Amino acid sequence: MNTAAGPGESTELVVITGMSGSGKSIALHALEDAGCFCVDNLPPELLEPFIALEDQRQARRLAIAVDVRSRHSLPQLPRLLRGLRRRGLTPRLLFLDANDQTLVRRFSETRRRHPLSLPNDIDGHQALLQAIARERDLLGALRERSHVIDTSFLRSAQLQAIVKDLIAVPAAHLTLVFESFAFKRGITMDADYVFDVRMLPNPHYDAELRPLTGRDQPVIDFLDRQPEAQRMLEQIAGFLRAWLPALARDHRSYVTVAIGCTGGQHRSIYLVEKLAALFGAEWQTLRRHRELDSVP
């Protein structure tokens, strides 16, 4: 889908990369729905000619997927992106990731071969894990430069919504992403900062509050009355206030702050909602609740 640029409008570029099996095709479809002209598996050496061609066509929003299938030219991508930034284009890099267990399950369900499977690999769990490890090594530098989305527990619709939310905010501004999660299902892989709030009073032990979430008023009232919860809120907010200006000056596009409790239902959700409301007046903010919307 193509959107012509009007007077004073500049080209936007979204680069989707990440692990094989992490959902890049789903993310690319979301970007197409959002009005981007999308190309899958574009070799990095064709990035500049592609952008020049689309500039002539006045395409305002572009999205490309680059991954390990272009592994021989993949090391060129950081240099090419730096060149685009010097020309005034600010690419958004989104890296899709998932834990090894999820990737193995997805490849097993689809019966696809991993793109880094070796010719003499015997199909099996160990060979697939070795291919995933090789891919993580090859993509490590790109991951460091990107906003990471952990798709381990996401439904397709939820991933599409997250991608659309991320590109809806202005590219020139730092966006704060507040995310709740459950430690019992593992630490989220996409966090820049992780705060453990399992030491706070737990509404789970109140029979009336147990089926509710941190967005429900009775749980909010309960945690509003807890001095420890208020102190935790103040200290996390103080840390962010102290360091967000420096992160913005460092040209960060996204900062993900993950709040984890045992079940990801009460305390973490409560604090994510409070922090998003607190910082929303000054910063672009998004909120996610991994356990509420994730795959069971």
Check if the beta carbon of residue 181 is closer than 8 Å to that of residue 245: no
Q: What is the pLDDT of residue 2?
A: 37
Nearest partner of 162 among 4, 289, 10, 20, judged by Cα: 289
Q: How confident is the model at residue 122 (pLDDT cuts 50, 70, 90)?
A: low
Average pLDDT over residues 261-279: 98
200 or 112, higher pLDDT? 200
Which helix (H) or strand (E) segment holds residue 117: the answer is none
Placement of tokens 């090391």 in the chain: 75
Pick the CATH number of 12-168 from 3.30.1330.100, 3.40.50.880, 3.40.50.2000, 3.40.50.300: 3.40.50.300
Q: Helix or strand or coil: residue 284?
A: strand
Q: Could you identify the residue written with the tokens 């299902």?
A: 185
pLDDT of residue 123 exceeding 60, the answer is no
Q: What percentage of the chain carries pLDDT values higher than 90?
A: 63
In tens, the pLDDT along 133-180 reads 999 999 998 899 899 999 999 999 999 999 999 988 877 678 999 999
First-residue to last-residue Cα distance in the chain: 34
Query: What's the pLDDT band for 50 if we cut at 50, 70, 90?
Result: confident
pLDDT confidence band for 91 (50 / 70 / 90):
confident
Best CA proximity match to 91, nearest among 56, 127, 66: 66
Torsion angle, alpha carbons of 144, 149, 151, 157, to 10: -150
Q: Where in the chain is the domain with CATH 3.40.50.300?
A: 12-168
pLDDT value of position 121? 64
Q: Label residues 218-227 b or e (16+ Cβ within 10 Å = b).
A: ebbebbeebe
Identify which of 108, 64, 292, 27 has the alpha carbon closest to the alpha carbon of residue 185: 292
Per-residue model confidence as pLDDT tens digits over 206-241: 999 999 999 999 999 999 999 999 999 999 999 999
Task: Name residue, tokens 């729905």.
Answer: 33
The Cα 142–Cα 41 span in angstroms is: 15
pLDDT score, position 3: 38
C-alpha to C-alpha distance for 201 and 215, rounded to whole angstroms: 16
- The residue-averaged pLDDT of 29-45 equals 91
* Residue whose structure tokens are 């409070």: 274
Q: What is the pLDDT of residue 78?
A: 85
As a whole number, mean pLDDT of residues 261-267 equals: 97
